[in-house]
């Protein structure tokens, strides 16, 4: 019987580029920026890395389909390098490859790096990718804001939520992310906003206004992982371990049967339950210290709080408005600014979330440092509410 990966792998070092409109850089520059920080943090030489995974989603725009650009850019020592892609969960998928390699004993030290260069493609959002699942075959005549607006409508209908309360909770989420992002020197957006700014902003897809939507960014993030024994042998203390990594992918049931009512993410609920079991978390609302979730839209963050079992079903609006997920709340959410403000370079986002968990657990998060966190949860969601991939990681102090 599978025993899981809890405490079999620790993070030796991490790095993250500044996110934003990086007109002065190409994808390779961003990769080097994240990798050099991770390598220095790990305190090793690149020749000690035995395997690597590259995560990038919109590869047509910068690196191409092969993993060769990672090996060449970083001058890796003729090791196996694998490119992965899984929509917005791509960065977590790269980390999963590296972690599983170490946990299995196939490699002593492995690298995961995610990168995306999107701001100079000529598109305001994600660029078109030709024929395929992102436009005319599976998802014709649909937009991301439109589909997530339907999520808001379904949630409101199911739980009898007051329209004004939902809008205020969504505004609170956006204001919170901007407040947190303002304290993060690597964040794309560092401007504070007010609830009034959110309420008065142009409508994109009712009830989602301009400030309810995240944009896309240029950026890269990187992790180097190993075993606890090797990390200790290298003089590392206060080890940060990977407690769980779980991925769940839609199988068509959400859109082909009517059990799913459109008010939640079935994949997130499945992946979260598996991750908590693997990590040994039995009471998420009490045990989890902080979360970084896929806040592509403010309503996505709200609904995800219930899918992650942090808010009882139908109560997330109240928890958000009560400040439960604020920086000073019980379970801070998006303490680094999240997708909304740190930014969303697709292939890097999952690793960027883990980067924040790692810094927080080591007490190195600077102005946004929380008091003594012990368990961090990250969540990616790629695709639309009805067809998506969800990835969950649980990061915590080794042995806890």
Q: What tokens were used for 296? A: 């592509």
Strands 375-384 and 109-116 turn out to be unpaired
CA atoms of 223 and 213, how far apart (whole Å):
28
Q: To the nearest 10°, the Cα dihedral for 324, 188, 344, 126?
A: 130
CA atoms of 392 and 339, how far apart (whole Å):
16
CB half-sphere exposure, 37, CA atoms < 13 A: 17
- Cα three-residue angle 60-64-66, rounded to 5 degrees: 145
Give the other-Cβ count within 10 Å of 221's Cβ. 36
Q: Residue 64 region, left (φ>0) first, then alpha (ψ -120 to 50), else beta?
A: left
Q: Residue 56 region, left (φ>0) first, then alpha (ψ -120 to 50), else beta?
A: beta
CA atoms of 244 and 122, how far apart (whole Å):
38
CA atoms of 296 and 152, how far apart (whole Å):
13
Nearest to 361 by CA among 279, 289, 286: 289
CA atoms of 211 and 230, how far apart (whole Å):
45
Which residue reads 């003089």 in tokens? Answer: 235
Secondary structure class of 130 (helix, strand, coil): coil
Q: What tokens were used for 358? A: 């790692």
Task: Answer yes or no: 88 catalytic.
Answer: yes
Q: Are 115 and 219 in contact (CB under 8 A)?
A: yes
Q: What tokens were used for 209? A: 């206004």
Task: Answer yes or no: 214 catalytic.
Answer: no
Which member of 88, 222, 296, 333 is catalytic?
Answer: 88
Which member of 172, 294, 344, 379 is catalytic?
Answer: 344
CA atoms of 91 and 280, how far apart (whole Å):
24
CA atoms of 223 and 228, how far apart (whole Å):
15
By annotation, the residues acting in catalysis are 88, 344
């Amino acid at each position: 019987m599978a025993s899981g990966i809890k405490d079999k792998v620790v993070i030796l070092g991490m790095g993250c580029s500044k996110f934003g409109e990086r007109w002065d850089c190409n994808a390779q520059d961003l990769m080097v920026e994240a990798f050099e920080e991770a390598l220095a943090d790990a305190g090793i030489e690149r020749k000690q890395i035995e395997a690597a995974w590259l995560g990038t989603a919109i590869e047509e725009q910068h690196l191409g389909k092969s993993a060769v650009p990672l090996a060449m850019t970083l001058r890796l020592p003729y090791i196996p390098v694998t490119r992965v892609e899984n929509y917005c969960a791509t960065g977590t998928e790269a980390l999963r490859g590296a972690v599983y390699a170490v946990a299995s004993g196939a490699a002593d030290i492995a690298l995961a790096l995610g990168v995306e260069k999107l701001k100079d493609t000529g598109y305001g959002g994600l660029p078109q990718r030709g024929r395929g699942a992102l436009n005319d075959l599976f998802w014709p005549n649909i937009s991301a804001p439109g589909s997530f607006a339907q999520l808001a409508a379904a949630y409101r209908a199911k739980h009898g939520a007051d329209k004004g309360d939902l809008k205020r909770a969504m505004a609170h989420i956006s204001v919170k992310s901007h407040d947190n992002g303002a304290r993060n020197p690597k964040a794309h957006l560092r401007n504070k906003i007010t609830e009034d700014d959110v309420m008065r902003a142009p409508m994109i897809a009712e009830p989602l206004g301009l400030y309810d939507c995240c944009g896309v960014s240029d950026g890269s993030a990187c992790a180097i992982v190993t075993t606890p024994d090797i990390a200790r042998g290298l003089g590392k203390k206060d080890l940060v371990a990977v407690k769980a990594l779980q991925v769940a992918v839609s199988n068509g049931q959400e859109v082909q049967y009517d059990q799913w009512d459109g008010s939640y993410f079935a994949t997130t609920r499945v992946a979260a339950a598996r991750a908590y079991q693997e990590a040994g978390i039995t009471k998420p609302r009490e045990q989890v210290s902080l979360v970084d979730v896929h806040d592509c839209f403010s309503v996505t963050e709200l609904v995800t709080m219930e899918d992650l079992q942090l808010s009882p079903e139908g109560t997330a609006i109240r928890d958000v408005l009560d400040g439960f997920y604020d920086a000073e709340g019980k379970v801070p959410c998006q303490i680094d600014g999240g997708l909304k403000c740190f930014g969303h370079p697709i292939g890097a986002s999952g690793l960027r979330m883990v980067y924040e968990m790692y810094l927080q657990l080591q007490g190195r998060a600077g102005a946004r440092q929380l008091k003594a966190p012990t368990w961090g949860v990250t969540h990616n969601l790629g695709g639309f509410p009805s067809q998506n991939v969800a990835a969950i990681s649980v990061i915590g102090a080794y042995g806890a």
